[in-house]
Each structure stands twice: as structure tokens, then as C-alpha cells.
RNA sequence: GCCUGGGUGGCGGAAUAGGUAGACGCAAGGGACUUAAAAUCCCUCGGUCCUCGCGGCUGUACGAGUUCGAUUCUCGUCCUAGGCACCA
């Protein structure tokens, strides 16, 4: 018998796949397409176990779908722009481009060594000019449509990364990448108008049944849609002061207003009054508190009275106007109405400043005494003190009050979003240059399409200092204005790297197309991605940006699909010793080491078997050994009798009626069914478990030592089935074993086995007997037996008789072929 | 505080539509083979009680409920992970 030598086998098989270009695909109208994609990696140097897991899952699905006859697009590429390349450049004096490409070369080899089947002719590296030139092209199209604009605003800035961060990239006041505390800085930035799509992005969350509930809820949470009304309060001089509220049912309980420090009225209301000095001192102080500080929990609510009053349009009551540090200028109108009786924040503020409470909603079965309240009543109830709305349920009153306000011209219904526009300017070098030129005379001038690409110079010296190297490269930024020809300056900021990953999955469909970003025919054949697989950490950032970008490209007429990813699978992290694998924790397992010790098939198998894809995977060295042992067991099963099986015809149905045969035949068909259905729903761990069971059953059959030809035929059928079912998981060993038994020239991987429903059902079934729901006995009977006959057998059981004796039988419940429950007293 | 998930043996995890809880694997214990070891193979393996039987009781975070029957459905409680968090 040949020994199982994974390295030799794997190298040989991989070379053959490469030679035959096995995974290369093109559009084919005769087959159903299936676009399978895993999130592409950042080329950090080497792949880690998270990648191995992600891509192993993907490879199973890709190979399975191919066996099922789909035309499977399964590409791979590199999210190649980003800061680590610059840091490496600074630390080691190596060009970011060189560093990145060396990493890509190494990691590509690693992926190939794991045996993942990609169409490498479609490989993309986002740092290649042929990729980012089309991103610049898209930028210009977006600019024409007003989807890109420039504005000065306070931005999140990471002092360590020395660049701006989008709101989504700030996690609890810290940089998402390096965890440095984020500060506020006033900068002029480019923005993508993602808020124009906020409503649609929100609503479509309900039309993505193939996405995990969790991700959709995170996206909805982030977009933060809320229905309310804008109401015009009036200053005493008649000028309007508009607020936004989601609780118009509390409008009659407003006792004061609060403005954000940045509100245009904040600086002027107190002018010339005794309050002026205090107000300005407060505003200065509040503005100095940067965003991250303001975001801290338990920040004390502070405020100052402006000395001015406004009129509540519903009640004509005069109410004082305050400025408060807790009101955000960026949401709603930057001014709020305060209802201390029904909003906890307002309640606290009112207590501090000794402001009155007016109750407008009471619990259905009680009353509220403003003087006795220790917290705001935020729940639903019945309207009181509310003009014509008294007596209504507050929920029902809300739309009526909005109608009333609109009728009287006091305001209008409004939907607000938490989502902000996406700031994409980064003061970094290793990214896509923003294709814009600033001219003293003509202002902002987009680079003409014929001048694209704006190429990122590769021969720059990267220094530590704050400024982007591009801003110091005169050859780069000194240009002539495309409009008037006068000397002008090129934009030296680059784009956020999330821009590249927002459309790479579309470019895979036509990576060499040179007349535009997308070849409409090809992209419409493949898009949308049928199955996307990646880490849940991208639930908001990457996935939301991609949904936005896909819509923009759709609106630009570049493609037909509206949503980018039909189905999404978010895989869990790889955990070891209780925490995520990381260098700092010193608990990383190196894929190279695993491949060297056990081979790629074992590494893949363990990642797939140890836990279902969505869950975190607990690393276990012993578990890896177990996977290796299983493969050796399979190897022996086949290799030990490879010669004996030569020339034997494989049967999946028993030629003999003896129970050994029948049992094995049934097991084969049941396993095919189970594995098929499990792969379809991504229960890859249980799919493997059931293949293991088939292997165990096959060994048991062998122990019977049946020598007839029929036994060999069925055995061969079982073995062929094991190999075919294993192929998507561990393709190298499967192919090798397939080659060892003579299989009539059939090609492994070309088709998926089918089960015969007749053999899925056992001829004899074990029926368990319960008495009053408690398990008492069981017996084996013919399948689909007549109820009367079954009852006769059951009640004839000695044990059951003993239990039933002396009781009154109320009823007998029969679950066919499974269970009988006798209810008695 | 709000919104999602999730709590099952010593461990990773099964149980697809309410019907035998613990598949498969790991670890552990016992045995076979061997001069010995490795490898391999076989047996045991939730808890508990006894009269050690193809025995009884109990058991899927906890407490109720629906049901002939609940890991599964409903309500409440606790714990835990993730997301959002002065968003008016």
C-alpha cells in the first residue's frame, strides 16, 4: 500500500489544476451562473488562520457548485492600498509598491498551496493603475452628478495614523485601525453623498433575506432612520427657530428649548443682554470639548440661559431658550424642544436649572404628579393637557398632531437619518489619487477624462512627518489648469481605501476591460454576487459602502443590479486560548507550519469541521491531529484495497437482501442526502461528520469479510461516494484516491452524486414507546406499518403491559415510523 | 439604556417542521496487538440511586405556561457576546 504523503500529492495535484486552468471561467449562456466571493485580503505579508477558514469555506461551496453543474466564478485579489505599506516603507526604507507586491507574491503562493480553486486570470490588485484609474473615472462621474462634494468641517483625525477617519471608522472615540484616541480637526475634505441613498439603503434591508439578521440590524442601526416632525417655534421678534422631534405627542409639555453651541442663533441671541458674557464663555468652552470627549458617557449636562424666549406655536406659551453641550448640531436642526416630564435628558436639565414640568401623557391606569416625579415618564399612555388631543392614546395622537401642525403651517413631517456623508480624503500617500486640480482662477477643476489616470508616483521618499509625501512632491502637484492653462495645484489627498473595496467584486467580472470600469455585458452576466463570505467586522463599513457604490454604478448606467450581494455569510473568528489570534497575544498558529506538518487538506478539514462557519472557531491542536487521523483512515480504506477494486463495477444498490448490504446501501444514500442538504445550508461541520459516519459504516461492512462480487461492488460504491463527497472539502487526497481505484475514466469534480429517495428510508424502523411522554421501551418494526398492527405489537410488549396494567388508556398518539405515546391514567 | 445573537457532557459541537437529548470528533479510562513504543483496532464515557437490571429517578442557564409530549413555541428572570448610544 502506498503511504499517505500529503505534500507530494498536494504539489502534484495543484500543478495539474494550474496546467489545466481548471478554474478559469467565462460567460456561458447554457449554464446557470454562480458568483461566489470571499472578502479579499489585505496583503500584509502572510495569510493567517482567519483567511484559511474564510477561503476554505468558500472553496467548498465553489467546488460543490461546480460539481452541481453551475458556471462558477470564484476570483481572488488584493486590497492593496493602505497604511501598513507606508509604515513598512518608513521603518525599512522599502517602497510601498515593492513591499506590497512582494507580499502579494508570497501570499498568492500560500493560497495556491492550500489548494483553493480561483480563476487567477482575474486577479486584481487595487494598487495597480489599471484598477484605480477606473476608480478615478467613477469619481469624476460622481462629481458630475453631485455625489461628490468638498466642504470644510470638523473631522475625526487620528494623530497616530496622521489622517482623517470617517464616522464609521471611529470606534468609541478611538481609531478603528490603531486604537489611538481620535481628535477633532477642522479640514476641507471630499465627501461622497451616501446620505442621498440613506432611505433606500435602509428600506432595502428588509429585502435582503439572504443576509444575516444581525448584519441588517447593525446597518439599520447605523443609518438610524427616525420619523418625526420639524416644528417652527418663533422668537419674540417673529423669526423662526425650527426644531426636530420624534415625539410630537409631547409638544404641549415643552417648557424650554436648547440649542447646540454651534447653532447659528447661539452666538447672537444674547448679544447686548446681561447674559452675553456668560453665553459666549459657555460656547467657547463647549466647542473646545472635542467630539470624543463629548461622546464619553456620563458627561455632565451643562447649559446656559440666553436671556431670550420662544413661543410654542401650539400653546402660545413663552419658553426660555438655553444653550446646551449635549445638543448636536449635526443631527436634526441643532435645536431641540425640551419636555422634562417625558424625556430623561430634559428632566435632568430641568432639575439643574429648576425649570417647570408639564405632564402631557399619563399611564392608562394612573396619574402623574410633576412635583413628585423622580424621573421622566417616557412610556406610552393617555394624552392630558394637550388641547383637542386630550384623552387619545399618545401613539394614535402622533400622526394627528403632525397633520394638525402641517395644516396650520407650523411645520412639517420629516424623516431624519443618523448616517452622515462619507468623508473620503486621506492625507496619506499609498492610495488612489483624487483626480482634481485647484486653479486660482477656475477654482476646483476635475481632471479631464482623457488625462486619466492620475498616476501615483512610485519613486518617492516616504518620511515620518505629518504631511503626505505627495504634498511635498512638486512634480506631482505642480500642473497646468486644464481649463485655462495657468499653473495650478493638484489635489494631494488620496481616497479612503474602502473606496477600492466598494466595487472590486464588479471589476472581477471584466478585469482587463479597458474602455471603462465595467463591461456591461459581462458584469450583467455575473452580478450580483450570489454568495459573499467574510468576517462580521465589515458588517457596517465595507458592506454599507459597497451597497452605496453598487447603486451609484447602477444609476450611472454601468450595470443592472441594484444590490451587490444576494446572500451573505459572516464567518466567526478563530480563537485560541480564549481570545482572537493575534501577535500581541502570542497565540497565532501559522498556516505554513500546519501545511508543512499535516498538509493543506488537514488544515482545511479542521477549519471546516471544528465548528459551523458563523460561529467562532476554537483552535485545538488535538483537533487538528484528529482531522489528520481521519484522512489517514480514509486513505487506508481506499489504498488498502485499491487493487482489489480495480475492474469492479461500483453499485449503490444492494444486490443481496442481507441486512449488511441493505444497511450499507441505505447509509450511502442517506449520507449523500445529508451532505448535499448540509452544504446547501452551510452546515459544513455536520456534513463532514456524516461522511465520517459513512466511513465508519463502510469499515464495519468490511469487517464482515464478505467475499462475493456483490460485496465488492457495493463496497466500491461506498468508497466512490466517500471520495466524491469529500472532494469539495479535501480535494487533493480525494483526487489522489479517485485515481487509485479504476473508475471508468470518470472525472472527479465533474458531477455530484445523487441519492435515491427509496434507499434513504430504512425498511425497518425503530419505534420508541412512551407512556405519558416518558420513554419506556422501543421495538423495531416494518416501516409504514398499519396503525392497528403497530398498536397490537406495542401493547404486546411485556414492559408496556406492565406499565399499562390497571390504568385507563385515554388515547394513543402515533408519529409514523418514530414514536408511540400512550396516554393513560 | 436600546437593538441583535447565544447559554446543551470534561471540551468543540449535533438534534432541518414540537416526537429517542448528547450524532461526529477531541480528551479521559480500560482492553487487544507488540520484546517495547508508536500506529491501529475493540469497549466504557451527562448526573444520581439501588436490589447493578437491557433498572429507577433526573438532566439542554433559571422560573412559569401551552401540549399527550418542549433543547425546540409563549411569558418572565439571570448570565454572556456583539452592535448603537446625549440622534431629541
Encode pLDDT of A34-58 as tens digits.
999 999 999 999 999 999 999 999 9
Per-residue confidence (pLDDT) for residue A49, from 0 to 100: 94
**Mean pLDDT, residues A517-537:** 96
Per-residue confidence (pLDDT) for residue A296, from 0 to 100: 47
Checking if the pLDDT of A297 tops 50, the result is no
Nucleotides of B under 7 A from a protein CB: 3-5, 11-16, 19-21, 23-27, 39-42, 56-58, 68-70, 82-88
Per-residue confidence (pLDDT) for residue A465, from 0 to 100: 57
Pick the closest to residue A712 from A678, A742, A689 (CA basis): A742
> pLDDT tens digit string along A656-666?
888 889 999 99
Calculate the angstrom distance between C1' of B42 and CA of A703: 12
Q: Is A663 helix (H, G, I), strand (E, B) or coil?
A: helix
Look up the protein residue whose alpha carbon has the minimum distance to the C1' of B24: A689
CA of A228: nucleotide with nearest C1': B88
Checking if the pLDDT of A367 tops 50, the result is yes
> pLDDT tens digit string along A694-750?
999 999 999 888 888 899 999 999 999 999 999 999 999 999 999 999 777 778 888
Pick the closest to residue A178 from A167, A186, A169 (CA basis): A169
> pLDDT tens digit string along A553-563?
999 999 999 99
CA of A680: nucleotide with nearest C1': B16
Burial classification of residue A788, based on how many CB atoms lie within 10 Å of its CB (0-12 exposed, 13-18 middle, 19 or more buried): exposed
CA of A690: nucleotide with nearest C1': B24
Calculate the angstrom distance between C1' of B35 and CA of A628: 30
Per-residue confidence (pLDDT) for residue A284, from 0 to 100: 85
Q: How far apart are CA A565 and CA A505, in angstroms?
A: 9
Q: How far apart are CA A508 and CA A51, in angstroms?
A: 19
CA of A213: nucleotide with nearest C1': B4
Burial classification of residue A272, based on how many CB atoms lie within 10 Å of its CB (0-12 exposed, 13-18 middle, 19 or more buried): exposed
> pLDDT tens digit string along A458-516?
988 777 656 678 988 999 999 999 999 999 999 999 999 999 999 999 999 999 999 99
Calculate the angstrom distance between C1' of B40 and CA of A477: 72
Mapping DSSP onto H, E and C, the string for A695-715 reads HHHHHHHHHCCCCCHHHHHHH
Q: How far apart are CA A452 and CA A101, in angstroms?
A: 23
Tell me whether the omega of the peptide bond preceding residue A112 falls within 30 degrees of 0, making it cis: no
Return mean pLDDT, chain A: 91
Rounded (5°) CA angle A178-A183-A184: 140
Q: Can you list the domains of chain A with their CATH numbers?
A: 135-193+423-495 (3.40.50.620), 225-417 (3.90.740.10), 638-760 (1.10.730.10), 764-824 (3.10.20.590)
Calculate the angstrom distance between C1' of B77 and CA of A689: 37
List of E strands, A399-486: 411-417, 422-423, 425-426, 436-439, 443-446, 478-480
Per-residue confidence (pLDDT) for residue A295, from 0 to 100: 47
CA of A418: nucleotide with nearest C1': B87
Calculate the angstrom distance between C1' of B49 and CA of A736: 55
Burial readout A660-695 (b: 16 or more C-beta within 10 A, e: otherwise): bbbbbbbbbbbbbbbbbebbeebbbbbbbebbbebb
- Confidence tier at A766 by pLDDT (50, 70, 90): confident
**Mean pLDDT, residues A65-89:** 94
Q: How far apart are CA A319 and CA A308, in angstroms?
A: 9
Checking if the pLDDT of A535 tops 60, the result is yes
Checking if the pLDDT of A597 tops 60, the result is yes
Per-residue confidence (pLDDT) for residue A288, from 0 to 100: 67
Per-residue confidence (pLDDT) for residue A299, from 0 to 100: 61
Amino acid at each position: 500500500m502506498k503511504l499517505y504523503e500529503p505534500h507530494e500529492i498536494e504539489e502534484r495535484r495543484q500543478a495539474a489544476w494550474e496546467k489545466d486552468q481548471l478554474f478559469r471561467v467565462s460567460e456561458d449562456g447554457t449554464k446557470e451562473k454562480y458568483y461566489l466571493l470571499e472578502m479579499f485580503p489585505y496583503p500584509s505579508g502572510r495569510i493567517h488562520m482567519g483567511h484559511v477558514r474564510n477561503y476554505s469555506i468558500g472553496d467548498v461551496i465553489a467546488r460543490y457548485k461546480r460539481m452541481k453543474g453551475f458556471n462558477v466564478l470564484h476570483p481572488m485579489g488584493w486590497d492593496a492600498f493602505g497604511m501598513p505599506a507606508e509604515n513598512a516603507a518608513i521603518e525599512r526604507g522599502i517602497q510601498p509598491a515593492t513591499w506590497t507586491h512582494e507580499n502579494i507574491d508570497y501570499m498568492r503562493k500560500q493560497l495556491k498551496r492550500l489548494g483553493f480553486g480561483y480563476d487567477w486570470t482575474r486577479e486584481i490588485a487595487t494598487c495597480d493603475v489599471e484598477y484605480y484609474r477606473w476608480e478615478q473615472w467613477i469619481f469624476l462621474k460622481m462629481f458630475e452628478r453631485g455625489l461628490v462634494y468638498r466642504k470644510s468641517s470638523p473631522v475625526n483625525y487620528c494623530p497616530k495614523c496622521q489622517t482623517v477617519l470617517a464616522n464609521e471608522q471611529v470606534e468609541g472615540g478611538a481609531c478603528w485601525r490603531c486604537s489611538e484616541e481620535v481628535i477633532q480637526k477642522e479640514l476641507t475634505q471630499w465627501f461622497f453623498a451616501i446620505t442621498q441613498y440613506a432611505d433606500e439603503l435602509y428600506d432595502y434591508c428588509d429585502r435582503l433575506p439572504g443576509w444575516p439578521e444581525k448584519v441588517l440590524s447593525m446597518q439599520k442601526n447605523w443609518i438610524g432612520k427616525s420619523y418625526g416632525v420639524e416644528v417652527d417655534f418663533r422668537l419674540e421678534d417673529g423669526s423662526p427657530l425650527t426644531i426636530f422631534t420624534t415625539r410630537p405627542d409631547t409638544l404641549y409639555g415643552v417648557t424650554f428649548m436648547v440649542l447646540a453651541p454651534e447653532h447659528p442663533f447661539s452666538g447672537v441671541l444674547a448679544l447686548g443682554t446681561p447674559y452675553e458674557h456668560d453665553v459666549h464663555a459657555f460656547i467657547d468652552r463647549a466647542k473646545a470639548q472635542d467630539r470624543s470627549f463629548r461622546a464619553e458617557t456620563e458627561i455632565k449636562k451643562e447649559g446656559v440661559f440666553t436671556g431670550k424666549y420662544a413661543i410654542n406655536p401650539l400653546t402660545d406659551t413663552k419658553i426660555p431658550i438655553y444653550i446646551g453641550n449635549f445638543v448636536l448640531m449635526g443631527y436634526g436642526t441643532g435645536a431641540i424642544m425640551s419636555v422634562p416630564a417625558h424625556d430623561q435628558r430634559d428632566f435632568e436639565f430641568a432639575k439643574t436649572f429648576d425649570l417647570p414640568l408639564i405632564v402631557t401623557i399619563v399611564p392608562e391606569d394612573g396619574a402623574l404628579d410633576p412635583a413628585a416625579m423622580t424621573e421622566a415618564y417616557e412610556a406610552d399612555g393617555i394624552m392630558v393637557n394637550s388641547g383637542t388631543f386630550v384623552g387619545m392614546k399618545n401613539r394614535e395622537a402622533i400622526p394627528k398632531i403632525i397633520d394638525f401642525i402641517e395644516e396650520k403651517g407650523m411645520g412639517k413631517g420629516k424623516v431624519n437619518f443618523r448616517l452622515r456623508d462619507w468623508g473620503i480624503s486621506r492625507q496619506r500617500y499609498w492610495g488612489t489619487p483624487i483626480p482634481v486640480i485647484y486653479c486660482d482662477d477656475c477654482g476646483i477643476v476635475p481632471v479631464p477624462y482623457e488625462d486619466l489616470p492620475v498616476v501615483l508616483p512610485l519613486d518617492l521618499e516616504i518620511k515620518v512627518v505629518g504631511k503626505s509625501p505627495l504634498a511635498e512632491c512638486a512634480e506631482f502637484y505642480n500642473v497646468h489648469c486644464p481649463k485655462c492653462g495657468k499653473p495650478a495645484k493638484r489635489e494631494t489627498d488620496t481616497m479612503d481605501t474602502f473606496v477600492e473595496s466598494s466595487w472590486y467584486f464588479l471589476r472581477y467580472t471584466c478585469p482587463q476591460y479597458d474602455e471603462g470600469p465595467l463591461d456591461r455585458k459581462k458584469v450583467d452576466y455575473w452580478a450580483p454576487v450570489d454568495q459573499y463570505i467574510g468576517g462580521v467586522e465589515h458588517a457596517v463599513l465595507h458592506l454599507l459602502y459597497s451597497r452605496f457604490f453598487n447603486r451609484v454604478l447602477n444609476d450611472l448606467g454601468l450595470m443592472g443590479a441594484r444590490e451587490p450581494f444576494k446572500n451573505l455569510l459572516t464567518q466567526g473568528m478563530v480563537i485560541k486560548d480564549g481570545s482572537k489570534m493575534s501577535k500581541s497575544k502570542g497565540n497565532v498558529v501559522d498556516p505554513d507550519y500546519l501545511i508543512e506538518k499535516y498538509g493543506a487538506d488537514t488544515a482545511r478539514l479542521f477549519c471546516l469541521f471544528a465548528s459551523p462557519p458563523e460561529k467562532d472557531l476554537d483552535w485545538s491542536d488535538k483537533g487538528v491531529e484528529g482531522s489528520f487521523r481521519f484522512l489517514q483512515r480514509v486513505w487506508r480504506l481506499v489504498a488498502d484495497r485499491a487493487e482489489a477494486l480495480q475492474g469492479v463495477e461500483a453499485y449503490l444498490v444492494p444486490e443481496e437482501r442481507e441486512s449488511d448490504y441493505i444497511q450499507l446501501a441505505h447509509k450511502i444514500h442517506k449520507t449523500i442526502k445529508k451532505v448535499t442538504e448540509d452544504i446547501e445550508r452551510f452546515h459544513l461541520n455536520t456534513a463532514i461528520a456524516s461522511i465520517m459516519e459513512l466511513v465508519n459504516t463502510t469499515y464495519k461492512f468490511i469487517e464482515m469479510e464478505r467475499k462475493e462480487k456483490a460485496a465488492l461492488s457495493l463496497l466500491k460504491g461506498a468508497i466512490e461516494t466517500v471520495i466524491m463527497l469529500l472532494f469539495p472539502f479535501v480535494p487533493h487526497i480525494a483526487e489522489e484516491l479517485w485515481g487509485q481505484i479504476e473508475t471508468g475514466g470518470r472525472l472527479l469534480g465533474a458531477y455530484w452524486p445523487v441519492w435515491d429517495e427509496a434507499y434513504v428510508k430504512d425498511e425497518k424502523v425503530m419505534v420508541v414507546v412512551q407512556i405519558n411522554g416518558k420513554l419506556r421501551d422501543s421495538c423495531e418494526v416494518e416501516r409504514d406499518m398499519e396503525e392497528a398492527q403497530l398498536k397490537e405489537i406495542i401493547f404486546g410488549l411485556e414492559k408496556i403491559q406492565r406499565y399499562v396494567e390497571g390504568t385507563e388508556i385515554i388515547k394513543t398518539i402515533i408519529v409514523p415510523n418514530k414514536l408511540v405515546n400512550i396516554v393513560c391514567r
